[in-house]
Amino acid sequence: MQHSEQVAQLKKLLHYLDTRTTAMADDVYRNNVTDYTDPEQAKLEQDLLFRHQPLFMGLSCRAEKPGDYFTDDYSGVPILVARDRSGTLNAFINTCRHRGAKVVDGCGGARAFSCPYHAWTYGLDGRLMSRPHEEAFEGMDKAEHGLVPLPVVEKYGMIWVGATPGETFDIDDQLGGLGAEMAAYGLESYSHYETRTSTQPMNWKLVLDTFLESYHINVLHVKTIDPILHSNLGTFDGYGKNLRMIIARRTLDQLRDRPEQEWDLMPYTAVVYILFPNTVFIVQGDHMETWHVYPSPNDPNESHMMISLYTPEPATTDSARGHWDRNFDLLMRTVEEEDFPLGSNVQRGFHAGAQTHITFGRNEPSLGHFHRSIKRALGLEAA
């Protein structure tokens, strides 16, 4: 973010602090309970959002060097992302062309991918290089049995993959004007520290909702993050289908004693982006966190997520690793002991029939923007 824009955002936050206000939506928003429970809507989301939107897969450092790869099993299509010898990033359906086994699991470094079933072996560029007993496959041209490529874009130090072969996408269009801001973070130089996974008995959108207001911090998180972040105090800006909210840290007040040219957004805030449709990207003072949240394929009441922590420098010492482990542990403890048990209750309560709608207050503008964007992408009327 440009320095002048950082100063403008910090001034806005100081104004909210002085006036005990926050960014406000024009109206209260009523969201259908069935958005979180309806199997038909879940099918539509799986198709339109997860098959036909580019999915943000993480920062470039997830596959930093030639031979590095990672996989994603949650989008509904098994995805393999690999950097080939020339440094080009490729994405494939992670399914063997022989009998359909999953070719590779997890992440790491490889020279080639050998299928665990009968050892058909693929290059980092997806080419089928060899198969045992070649004579048994007469007439089945090797050149036509490489891994099926998926569209992939690497830009601003970020990786997006589309889960439908042959489709193309314009990532700047998808980012809705956030490109320059993402570029300014210098994400190319970040290091991948760790990725953890979690499965929760909550609709995937309810998981994202957790991150989209600061109204609950001094209630639900009174013992954990309330000492760090202000409650009910944040900016909101929509960028096409995406959004940004900036939440003030309690250190914000200290800025008043410093000259504006020294003001820096990151130490005084947490910047939360929704990268449509399913990523929460958080600029967390001295590091970045991403939450990729996916619906369970057969159950609107369950979701899977991958949570990654990225650091500005590689963590090479025990003390650095201790620092980032403590950060990651606090994060996971907060959501797994506070947000998600609460969210699981909400999900169960949705089935009780108490009401047809839930309410997003005017002080929760990000929630309305997120759900309106989903509804538009699904071709459903906004509430």
Question: What Å distances lie between residue 200 and 66, 296, 301, 306, 340, CA to CA?
Answer: 35, 10, 8, 12, 7
The alpha-helical segments, DSSP class H, found in 89-243 are: 171-175, 179-184, 204-209, 217-220
- Selection from Fe ion, ligand FES, none that 364 binds (CB < 5 to 8 A by kind) is none
Q: How far is the CB of 93 from ligand FES (least distance, A)?
A: 13
Element (H, E) at 365: helix 365-378
Q: Does 330 engage in binding with ligand FES (CB under 6 A)?
A: no
Q: Does 147 engage in binding with ligand FES (CB under 6 A)?
A: no
Q: Which long-range contacts (CB under 8 A, 24 or more apart) does 199-202 make?
A: 199/296, 199/302, 199/303, 199/304, 199/305, 200/302, 200/303, 200/305, 200/340, 200/343, 200/344, 201/301, 201/302, 201/344, 201/347, 201/348, 202/301, 202/302, 202/303, 202/340, 202/343, 202/344, 202/346, 202/347
Among 30, 52, 99, 196, binds ligand FES (CB under 6 A): 99
Among 52, 117, 134, 223, binds ligand FES (CB under 6 A): 117
Q: How far is the CB of 196 from Fe ion (least distance, A)?
A: 17
- Selection from Fe ion, ligand FES, none that 91 binds (CB < 5 to 8 A by kind) is none
Residue closer to ligand FES, measured from CB, 79 or 246: 79
Q: Does 80 engage in binding with ligand FES (CB under 6 A)?
A: no
Q: Does 118 engage in binding with ligand FES (CB under 6 A)?
A: yes
Q: Does 289 engage in binding with Fe ion (CB under 5 A)?
A: no
Question: What Å distances lie between residue 77 and 65, 125, 252, 273, 330, CA to CA?
Answer: 24, 19, 43, 25, 32
Q: Does 339 engage in binding with Fe ion (CB under 5 A)?
A: yes
Q: Does 96 engage in binding with ligand FES (CB under 6 A)?
A: yes
Q: How far is the CB of 221 from Fe ion (least distance, A)?
A: 6
Cβ neighbours for 166, distance < 8 A, ≥ 6 positions apart: 151
Site size toward ligand FES, by CB under 6 A: 10
Q: How far is the CB of 216 from Fe ion (least distance, A)?
A: 6
Task: Give the whole-angstrom CA distance, residue 232 versus residue 213.
Answer: 7
Q: Does 351 engage in binding with ligand FES (CB under 6 A)?
A: no
Q: How far is the CB of 84 from ligand FES (least distance, A)?
A: 20
From 96, 98, 58, 60, select the one nearest 74 (Cα to Cα). Answer: 58
Q: How far is the CB of 69 from ligand FES (least distance, A)?
A: 17
Residue closer to ligand FES, measured from CB, 99 or 351: 99
Point out which residues bind ligand FES (CB under 6 A).
96, 98-101, 115, 117-120
Binding residues for Fe ion, per CB under 5 A?
Answer: 339
